[in-house]
A and B are shown apart, each in its own frame.
Chain A
Amino acid sequence: MDKICILCVDDEPDVLRAVARDLAEMEEGFPVETAASAEEAKGLIGEILKRGDRLGLVFCDHVMPGQNGVDLLIELRGWPGLQGTRLVLFTGQAGHEDTVEAINRAGITRYVAKPWERELLVRVARDELTSYLIESGRDPLPLMRYLDQERLVEYVRRRNRVDTGQ
């Protein structure tokens, strides 16, 4: 309940395993879910929202059997319950036009090219989730240790917002 999840969508099981391994250090604060297709992803997101969790971040491949990644991201952007969710295109194969579409219509905030480095992926996840947390207006303290602490304490300083009594 009330957890913020990370979702990775990719048709290659090896990629999903590698991403899950790379993000393992954040797993305790941000459960990592994986889906092998757009259809599976949508089902999974439905479940996440239904159990009262939220989706903070999506890493999405582009070229997949069935619905492609950019179309999936555009569709997700319109979903109720995913307004603040940070979307990242995670691919080596998206063409110029697809990428423009993803930026303009799905509002992706990052593009991570494959092959990727572990450190980059962790940094992107950390940055994006920090932004998600700040924009959602939630108390940032419980999750601060996994995220960009400098940005979050600066947020606390500016907003003077902590959910513990004075």
Chain B
Amino acid sequence: MDTKKIIALVVGSALFLLPLFLDLDGLSLMGHITLGIFLLAAVFWILEPIPIYATSLMVIFLQIVFLSAQGPLFQMNEVPSAAPIPVEAEVWEIPRQALDGDRVLLLEERNRTEAAEVSLVESRADTVVVRSDRLSEGTRVVIDPGHWFLDFDPPSYTKYLNALANPIIILFLGGFVLASAAVKYELDRNLTRVILRPFGTRPAMVTMGLMLVTATLSAFMSNTATTAMMMTVIIPIVAQLDPDDRYRIGIALAIPFAANVGGIATPIGTPPNAIAIGALQAQGIDIAFGQWMVLAVPLVIVVLFFVWWLLLTVYPAKGERITLELSGTFNLSGKAIVLYVVFGLTVFLWVTEAWHGLSSSVVAFFPIAALTAFRVIEKDEIRNLSWEVLWLMAGGIALGVAMRDTGLAEWLIGMIRWDLMGAFVVIGVFGLVAAGLSNFISNTVAASLLVPLAISLGASGILTDSVSLEINAVIIAFGASLGMALPISTPPNAIAMSTGLLRTPDMAKMGLLIGVVGLAVALVLARFFWPLLIG
């Protein structure tokens, strides 16, 4: 293990403990613990001393241990209490420390207390004698009314475990199952073949076709699998080109960029979308599948068009013709037909949520149940699903839930004078930070760290302008997908780089430009278009 990882582990652990030694004004005990978990998660997610999905599981584990009623912290600690000693009718002798002005705290069931008014009768050495009709033989008074444990009222651990099967996680699972089956039966490749054909052989049109297919597929499948599949399509194209034809670089960039951008288009396109939707759901705001698409697709189209124009301008083709080898036929076996029907029906039900009202997570369970029942996907495919991605998202969702419930998010938000900025500046800042961060760290992680803050800010009412919670959360998800300047920014970028067709400066210059323009477009939409659709 190298020094950098050890430092990250030590710093993360130290920051986890730090809030426990501080008494932060306005933050509950549970808020302190959550702050520790937040800091640890931020350090571990960003510096990656352990895998990012392991950090997510660590978040859930720490929440169960420190923040739940089933955790040892709650199970093994008790508030110190004493039984009052009867002196005469309604007059009791209690420990001196128990008296807090003219009241005492009565211990109800486990760590829950109720205040009771008392009047002082007599003060003795270590005890006081008080009169009260609330005390009786069975009651216990809390000896130390200022005890740290008193405002600690943890929820059941199911609250944190639920993150692992949060509806949005199920939605993604449905998407994963569909994508896995699509890959197994070559549906993705065959669709690509069919869609690409009308685009002909002119280089500009070929690029457009490739980008369109990539973006469409990555809206429903993982960006990674889509990029890998499209790379198998473009490698033969690249092989027929002159080694110094700059068009090679252009299409090698077009695929990962289109995949990154395409992921924005639907809720299941990429995990940051899930983080935003999950956090909004926790606030009681449901964003329908189709509603998300109405917000996102215009952005995707504009950005794709810009990427297309940019890459063709910077990396023009030398030749006039590109030959695509698109052989293959649709699999017509029984299982493949089941897949086509289930796939079509699921996507149809997703985009028409507004008509029938079935939530997309409910619909998502249909392909999970149907494709396994018909053995379209079997044990091998199930084992191969990206479970670690689901766990990564679950950790982000669980962190968001705890940050909101313990008041930490609101407290953090309170540290900055947001009211000095306009609402528009605020979403600009969130989008910029999300895009900037996700160039260097996982997009999901960037969204997990920022969305809880954005949502609390929206819910706090500090901003009086018309900016809604939804826009705050959505801009972060979009921003996270727009950070694509480096090979490490996203898996599609990494795949494209590893072909050796590109050098990092190509990707960095284009990626940065696309990020900036994309964000600008998103902000324009956030200002003028989205408010018409929301609220």
Q: Decide yes or no whether A24 CB sits under 8 A from chain B.
A: no
Q: Decide yes or no whether B271 CB sits under 8 A from chain A.
A: yes
Q: Decide yes or no whether A117 CB sits under 8 A from chain B.
A: no
Q: Is the CB of A153 within 8 A of B224?
A: no
Q: Decide yes or no whether A154 CB sits under 8 A from chain B.
A: yes
List the B residue with the shortest CB-CB distance to A153: B231
Q: How many A-B residue pairs have CB under 8 A?
A: 76
Q: Which of A12-20, A119-127, A139-147 is found at the contact surface with chain B?
A: A139-147
Please, which residues of chain B bring their CB within 8 A of the CB of A144? 498-500
Q: Decide yes or no whether A162 CB sits under 8 A from chain B.
A: yes
Partner of B443, one of A156, A157, A158, A166: A166
Please, which residues of chain A bring their CB within 8 A of the CB of B490? 164, 166
Q: Is the CB of B499 within 8 A of A145?
A: yes
List the A residue with the shortest CB-CB distance to B231: A153
List the B residue with the shortest CB-CB distance to A140: B498
Partner of B231, one of A145, A149, A160, A164: A149
Partner of A150, one of B235, B384, B443, B445: B235
Q: Could you write out 16 A-B pairs with CB less than 8 Å apart?
A: A141-B495, A145-B498, A149-B235, A153-B232, A158-B183, A160-B180, A160-B225, A160-B385, A162-B491, A162-B494, A164-B488, A165-B441, A165-B444, A166-B270, A166-B271, A166-B442
- Scoring A150, A153, A154 by chain B CB atoms within 10 A of each residue's CB, the highest score goes to A153
Nearest-CB distance from B260 to chain A (Å)?
11
Nearest-CB distance from A122 to chain B (Å)?
15
Instruction: Report Cα–Cα, A145/B497, bound state, in Å.
Output: 9
Q: Is the CB of A164 within 8 A of B494?
A: yes
The 4 closest A-B pairs by CB, nearest first: A165-B442, A145-B500, A157-B228, A141-B498
Interface of B is mostly: helix
Q: Decide yes or no whether A159 CB sits under 8 A from chain B.
A: yes
Nearest-CB distance from B164 to chain A (Å)?
17
Q: Find residues 17-76 in chain A having any chain B CB closer than 8 Å to their own CB.
A: none
Partner of B228, one of A142, A156, A165: A156
Please, which residues of chain A bring their CB within 8 A of the CB of B336? none
Instruction: Report Cα–Cα, A160/B182, bound state, in Å.
Output: 13
Assuming the contacts A162-B224, A165-B442, A165-B445, asked whether A153 and B495 have C-beta atoms less than 8 A apart, the reply is yes
Q: Decide yes or no whether B392 CB sits under 8 A from chain A.
A: yes
Nearest-CB distance from A119 to chain B (Å)?
15
Instruction: Report Cα–Cα, A144/B501, bound state, in Å.
Output: 11
Interface flags for B385-420 (1: CB within 8 Å of A; 0: not) read 110010010000000000000000000000000000
Q: Find residues 471-524 in chain B having any chain A CB closer than 8 Å to their own CB.
A: 488, 490-491, 494-495, 497-500
Please, which residues of chain B bring their CB within 8 A of the CB of A160? 180, 183, 222, 224-225, 228, 384-386
- Scoring B52, B386, B444, B495 by chain A CB atoms within 10 A of each residue's CB, the highest score goes to B495
Please, which residues of chain A bring their CB within 8 A of the CB of B180? 160
List the A residue with the shortest CB-CB distance to B229: A157
Q: Is the CB of B499 within 8 A of A154?
A: no
Instruction: Report Cα–Cα, A149/B392, bound state, in Å.
Output: 29
Nearest-CB distance from A37 to chain B (Å)?
36
Interface flags for B441-453 (1: CB within 8 Å of A; 0: not) read 1111100000000
List the A residue with the shortest CB-CB distance to B226: A157
Instruction: Report Cα–Cα, A166/B231, bound state, in Å.
Output: 18
Nearest-CB distance from B403 to chain A (Å)?
21
User: 19 additional contacts, CB 8 Å, given A156-B225, A165-B392, A166-B223?
Assistant: A145-B498, A149-B231, A153-B229, A153-B232, A153-B235, A153-B499, A156-B228, A156-B495, A157-B183, A157-B228, A159-B384, A160-B385, A162-B495, A165-B441, A165-B443, A166-B270, A166-B386, A166-B442, A166-B490
